[in-house]
Protein backbone atom coordinates (compact mmCIF):
# COMPACT_ATOMS: atom_id res chain seq x y z
CA UNK A 1 0.00 0.00 0.00
CA UNK A 2 1.41 3.36 -1.01
CA UNK A 3 1.39 6.11 1.62
CA UNK A 4 1.29 9.86 1.02
CA UNK A 5 1.45 12.68 3.53
CA UNK A 6 -1.85 14.58 3.53
CA UNK A 7 -0.06 17.74 2.43
CA UNK A 8 1.33 15.97 -0.66
CA UNK A 9 -1.89 14.06 -1.39
CA UNK A 10 -3.89 17.30 -1.39
CA UNK A 11 -2.13 18.40 -4.57
CA UNK A 12 -2.74 15.11 -6.40
CA UNK A 13 -6.02 13.89 -4.91
CA UNK A 14 -7.72 13.53 -8.30
CA UNK A 15 -4.91 11.38 -9.68
CA UNK A 16 -4.80 9.26 -6.51
CA UNK A 17 -8.56 8.70 -6.60
CA UNK A 18 -8.41 7.63 -10.26
CA UNK A 19 -5.51 5.28 -9.47
CA UNK A 20 -7.45 3.67 -6.59
CA UNK A 21 -10.50 3.21 -8.81
CA UNK A 22 -8.66 1.90 -11.87
CA UNK A 23 -6.13 -0.35 -10.15
CA UNK A 24 -8.21 -1.49 -7.15
CA UNK A 25 -5.36 -0.55 -4.84
CA UNK A 26 -5.29 1.17 -1.46
CA UNK A 27 -3.57 4.46 -0.74
CA UNK A 28 -2.91 5.57 2.83
CA UNK A 29 -2.92 9.22 3.86
CA UNK A 30 -0.64 10.13 6.74
CA UNK A 31 -0.28 13.09 9.05
CA UNK A 32 3.02 13.48 10.89
CA UNK A 33 3.90 9.89 10.03
CA UNK A 34 0.66 8.36 11.31
CA UNK A 35 -1.86 6.86 8.87
CA UNK A 36 -5.09 8.84 9.23
CA UNK A 37 -7.19 7.46 6.36
CA UNK A 38 -7.11 5.00 3.48
CA UNK A 39 -8.52 5.56 0.00
CA UNK A 40 -10.39 2.55 -1.41
CA UNK A 41 -12.68 2.15 -4.41
CA UNK A 42 -16.46 2.52 -4.02
CA UNK A 43 -16.90 -1.10 -5.14
CA UNK A 44 -14.58 -2.34 -2.41
CA UNK A 45 -16.32 -0.19 0.20
CA UNK A 46 -19.68 -1.64 -0.83
CA UNK A 47 -18.28 -5.17 -0.55
CA UNK A 48 -16.78 -4.47 2.88
CA UNK A 49 -20.06 -2.98 4.13
CA UNK A 50 -21.97 -6.01 2.85
CA UNK A 51 -19.62 -8.44 4.62
CA UNK A 52 -19.74 -6.41 7.84
CA UNK A 53 -23.55 -6.35 7.81
CA UNK A 54 -23.62 -10.10 7.16
CA UNK A 55 -21.19 -10.77 10.02
CA UNK A 56 -23.21 -8.56 12.38
CA UNK A 57 -26.42 -10.37 11.44
CA UNK A 58 -24.85 -13.80 11.94
CA UNK A 59 -23.49 -12.70 15.34
CA UNK A 60 -26.95 -11.46 16.42
CA UNK A 61 -28.48 -14.69 15.15
CA UNK A 62 -25.93 -16.78 17.10
CA UNK A 63 -26.81 -14.83 20.26
CA UNK A 64 -30.51 -15.43 19.61
CA UNK A 65 -31.21 -11.72 19.10
CA UNK A 66 -32.99 -11.99 15.76
CA UNK A 67 -36.74 -12.19 15.43
CA UNK A 68 -38.78 -14.68 13.48
CA UNK A 69 -38.47 -12.73 10.22
CA UNK A 70 -41.11 -11.42 7.83
CA UNK A 71 -42.84 -13.51 5.16
CA UNK A 72 -41.97 -12.55 1.57
CA UNK A 73 -45.44 -11.19 0.72
CA UNK A 74 -45.47 -9.00 3.84
CA UNK A 75 -41.97 -7.67 3.12
CA UNK A 76 -42.98 -6.83 -0.44
CA UNK A 77 -46.08 -5.02 0.80
CA UNK A 78 -44.02 -3.00 3.29
CA UNK A 79 -41.40 -2.05 0.73
CA UNK A 80 -43.56 -1.45 -2.32
CA UNK A 81 -46.91 -0.69 -0.72
CA UNK A 82 -48.59 -3.42 -2.72
CA UNK A 83 -51.75 -5.14 -1.62
CA UNK A 84 -51.28 -8.83 -0.77
Cβ neighbors of 78 (< 8 A, separation 6 or more) are 70
2-5 and 27-31 beta bridge pairing: parallel
Please write the tens of the pLDDT for every residue from 27-47: 999 999 999 999 999 999 999
Predicted confidence at residue 64, as pLDDT, reads 87
Among 3-7, 25-29, 32-36, 78-82, whose mean pLDDT is lowest?
78-82
Which domains are delineated in the chain?
2-66 (3.40.1620.10)
The mean predicted confidence, pLDDT, of the chain is: 92
Cβ neighbors of 73 (< 8 A, separation 6 or more) are 84
pTM here?
Answer: 0.67
Amino acid sequence: MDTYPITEARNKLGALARQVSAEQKHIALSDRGQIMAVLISPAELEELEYHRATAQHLARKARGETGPGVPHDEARRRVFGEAP
